[in-house]
Amino acid sequence: MRTLRNLLRAAGMDHFLYRDGILHAEDVPVPEIAASVGTPFYCYSQATLTRHYRLFEEALDGLPHLICYAMKANSNQAVLKIMAGLGAGVDVVSGGEYRRAVAAGVPGERIVFSGVGKTGEEMRLALSGGIRQFNVESEPEMRLLSEVAVSMGVRAPVTIRVNPDVDAKTHEKIATGKSENKFGIPIARAREVYAEAAALPGLEVVGIDVHIGSQLIQLEPYEQAYRKVADLTRALREDGHDIRRLDLGGGLGIPYERSNSAPPLPLDYGAMVKRTVGDLGCEIEIEPGRLIAGNAGLLVSSVIYLKHGEGRDFLILDAAMNDLIRPAMYGAWHDIVPVVEAPAGVELGPCDIVGPVCESGDTFARGRPLPPLATGDLVAFRSAGAYGAVMASEYNSRPLIPEVLVHEHHFAVIRARPSYEEIISRDTIPEWL
């Protein structure tokens, strides 16, 4: 069983492998990182990030395209620097993300600005600093963007996000392409909205945008949406619009639970893109985030206690829901494994894996089979590179945990753990107290 697991990982899923019974991040033993930075911490593999980006490049080979990494999945500047060096663009959803992308060296002409609530200040920031396009989500946003652009003496390149009313068959909190979701304009109204956009003096219509959700494990919803986009492209061209760019969004899922069947591969996704919109002569943009970063990261934690409860055992870790919110927020699964591999044949026992935050919601897994573990032992949460550190908080006055990047046999802290003094000093007590 151990051999099969390592073969699967060696085939390219990630670069976190057991060697002589010790989990390694590329060529670095995970306990070595833990001894240096303390636990809990996030650990990312540069080799995995690079390989996953290149899988999408291979998938879209033969089509003019730009892969815009969805940085909301993991916005550490070191990760962005890797993406920029590979030639990626980025998809940003806030002024803060725009600034972070620019700071990491991403040129403005490779930045796409998405999101339903862009402010005039954010629009001005992107127009002054350089932008590939705005993915416009509504008519009020479209009108404000035109006003801002005219006031600056420029025209803003835009796609308009259409909502194709397609069920992405994913978690309700990350589905974005159904009629009841807040995103985009109804595709049935697209022609009239594009007509208004073309008449606004501050806008240059360059294409169409669509994104139906995250963590999709089937291609069929994509195919439905992209065929609707293809039909819309032809209709808009008949109306006189120069549709030369299709932003197809992201959302391709990753195998969080390794025992389940794997989601489609990027190669399968690329083939579907080619057969649905490949004949339109458009430049294709896609915005993968989770599939690039998810399996490129671990969350490493130490055992504080093993507690025997009424009819169940609790493994209490030093990581908590504020460090990794996905299980509490989405009921999400993460494979959780010991860093020191258990000997063959050892008996596994079910336990609830929890953190120290004072909420019952601070539970990572229930009844998870694990070998015997003791205080100080290390465990690793797999597939923690996306929507982990970026969604963390300092709830319970717990410091944000370090992020570490590994490259071959080197590792570096790419975000340090703040001290308690730094956290407390951010507060200001009014003079009357």
| Separation of alpha carbons 259 and 432, rounded Å | 59
Asked if residues 413 and 404 have their Cβ atoms less than 8 Å apart, the reply is yes
> What DSSP designation does 418 have?
P
Phi, psi of 31 (to 5 degrees): -60, -30
The four Cα atoms 233, 235, 241, 246 give a dihedral, to 10 degrees, of -10
The label of the residue with tokens 């990047």 reads: 405
User: Strand 378-381 to strand 297-308: parallel, antiparallel, or no bridges (unpaired)?
Assistant: antiparallel
Annotated catalytic sites, by residue? Answer: 358
Asked if residues 365 and 336 have their Cβ atoms less than 8 Å apart, the reply is yes
At how many degrees (to 10) do helices 266-277 and 46-59 cross? 30
Cis peptide leading into residue 356 (ω within 30°): no
Write out the DSSP string of 91-104.
EE-SHHHHHHHHHT
End-to-end CA distance of the chain: 63
CA 149 to chain centre: 30
Quick one: which H or E segment has residue 206? strand 203-209
Three-point CA angle 418, 423, 427, nearest 5°: 160
Q: Strand (E) positions, 309-401?
A: 313-317, 336-338, 349-354, 363-370, 378-381
Structure tokens at 312: 């169940």
| Separation of alpha carbons 370 and 336, rounded Å | 9
Asked if residues 290 and 170 have their Cβ atoms less than 8 Å apart, the reply is no
| Separation of alpha carbons 293 and 142, rounded Å | 32
Asked if residues 403 and 413 have their Cβ atoms less than 8 Å apart, the reply is yes
Backbone φ/ψ region at 408: left (φ over 0), alpha (ψ -120 to 50), beta: left
